[in-house]
Structure 1
Amino acid sequence: MIVPFSVFDTTYKTKEKVVISQMLSCICDASKPAEYLTCGNLVSENGFVHLHRTLDFFVLILVQEGTLHICQNNRTYDVRSGEFFLLFPGSTHYGYKPTQGSLSYCWVHFVLPGSPADTVKSLPRSSEDHYPTESIRHFNSALKERICLPEHGKISPEKRSQLLFLQLLDLAKRNRYQITWSCHHALNLLLLEMSCEYQQAEYFGLDMLPTSVQDIMEWVQSHFDQPLTVSGLAEKFGYHPTYLSALIKQYTGYPLITYINRTRIHVSKNLLNSHTLTIRQISSMCGFTDEKHFMKLFRQFEGMTPTQYRKAFNQKKINTL
C-alpha cells in the first residue's frame, strides 16, 4: 500500500471523529492518459545534491537506496528507500543538503492533459481513526476512475510499483529512449498501480480491514525472511490455526500459508533485479529453506522461472546528475 504524507497542517474534527487534512496531489481522469517524456535511474556514490530548477512537467521519483534530501515550494523532505516523491510543474525544487553515502532512484518525466491548475489539487484525507463520513465515501467513489497521487508517499511492501518502474526503464532503453506507445502504456500502468494502492490504503482498505488482520499481515510483511507457520502465527495472535487461515482468506483471497508464500515471492521479484545475488541467496533471504521449493512456487505464481524473470526486464539508463 502507499501511505501519503500530509503537506498542509489544517485539520478539524467532527462529531463522527473524522479528521480531515489537506495534501497536495496530482489528479486526472484515467481515460485521459499521461504522456511519457523520458526516464532513467540516477546513481550516486556520495554527496549528491539535486539541481535547483523549475520545470513545466511532472517528475516522479522512486528511491531505491539511500535518502534524497529535496525541497519543493519551500518545504523540505527526506525521501528514503521505498518512498516516492512527485515534483509538480511550475514548482521550484532543489536539493537542500548533500546525501550521505550511496543514493539510487528511478525517475520519469511526464505531462498530464490540461493545465497544472486542473491536475494539481489540495485533497482531503481521512484520519488514522478511520471513522468515515458519507461525504468521504462519496469522495472515494469519485476517485475510483482517476489517477490520484500525493506529493510524498510509500510504496507497498511487495514493491509492485517498483517492479513496474523497472519495466518502464527497460522498455525505454530497448526502444533507444525514443517516445513510443509501449512507454506511454507502461507509464500509465505504473501511475494507475501507484494510485490504486494509495486509494485503497487511504480511503478504502484501512477503514474496512480489522486491526487484528492488519497486524497479522504487517507481521508477515516484516518477518517474511524468518520461519513462519500457520500454527506459529495462530499461537502468537491467539487464534485457532484453521480459523486464522480462513480469516486471512476472507480479506486477502488467500489462505494464510499462500499469503505468506505470495509475500515472499513478491519480495524475491524485487531482489531478482539485483544481478549480484544468486537464486540461492535470494531464496534464503526471502525465508525459503529449500531453493527448489522456492523455484517451484515462483513458477506457480509467476508462470516462469526466477532466471527467466530476471532476464525479462534488466536494461535501464543510469545517470549521475
Structure 2
Amino acid sequence: MKSLNRVVCEKRSYTRELLSHDHDFGQLLFPLQGSLQMQTASQDIMLEPDHCFYLPPRHNHVFHSRDRNEFLILDIPTHFLPEDTESMYSLLDQQWSSIRFLLLEEAGSKGNDSAALMDLTRYVTSKLQISVSASIDYIHRHFKEPISLQTLAEMEHYHPVYYSSWFKRKTGKSPKVYIADLRLKYAKQLLITSTWSISRISEEVGFENSSSFTRWFVKSECMPPQKYRMMNNGKKEP
C-alpha cells in the first residue's frame, strides 16, 4: 500500500502493462488525453477526457491504458478527507472543468506546498461530500418513468448487486423504495394542489391505469386518493 503525507498535484501517463495496487490516500484523476481502463471490486470504468474519477483510500484497483495518454492527478492525504468517502465518477461539468483548470496551473507551477493548492484541495474534498451521484440525479428527473436497477448501476459503473447496497448506505432506502417515495410525494402534491382527475394523476405519476394507482396509494397511505384529497383540501404538501 502506498502512503502519502502531503498533497501532490502533477501530470502522469500510464502504460499498457496491467498493474494493481492500493494506497492510503484519496486520488482524483482528470484525463487530459487518451483513456485509462480501471477496475475495482465494484466498478469497471473507461476513464476518458469528458469525465473525472475520485478513488478513495484503500481501494485496490487494476489499471492500464491502451493509447497515448496524459492525466492530471491530485493525490489527497487522508487528513484532508472526510471519513468514508466513496468513489465518484462524474461528468466534467463547468465546476469540475474550472477545478481542473486551477489544478493544472498549480501542477505547472510545481508548488505542491503552496497555500493556493492547499485551499483548492480543501474545496475539492468539500465538493466530494456534497456531490450528487449521476444515478440519484437521474432518479429525481425520471422517477415518473420505469427505471431498471441495471440502468442505475451502469450510470455509476457498479455491479447491480453492489449498487443496491451502495444506494442504501447513501440514502437509507433501497432504489425501489426511494423511487416509490418520490412518486408518492408527487402524487400527494397533485391531489392537494391540482384539480386533476385521479386518472390523470395516475398517468402523470407513471401508472398505466387509475386502478393500479389507487391500489398502490391505499397500500401506502391506508386510504384511497379521493379520501386523501378531501381530508387535505386547501393544504400544501411540503
TM-score bracket for this pair, using the shorter chain length = 0.3 to 0.5
Relative contact order, higher structure (CA 8 A, sep 6+): 1
Higher Rg? 2
Structure that is richer in strand per residue: 1
Structure that is richer in helix per residue: 2
- Name the TM-score, length of structure 2 as normaliser: 0.43
- Name the TM-score, length of structure 1 as normaliser: 0.33
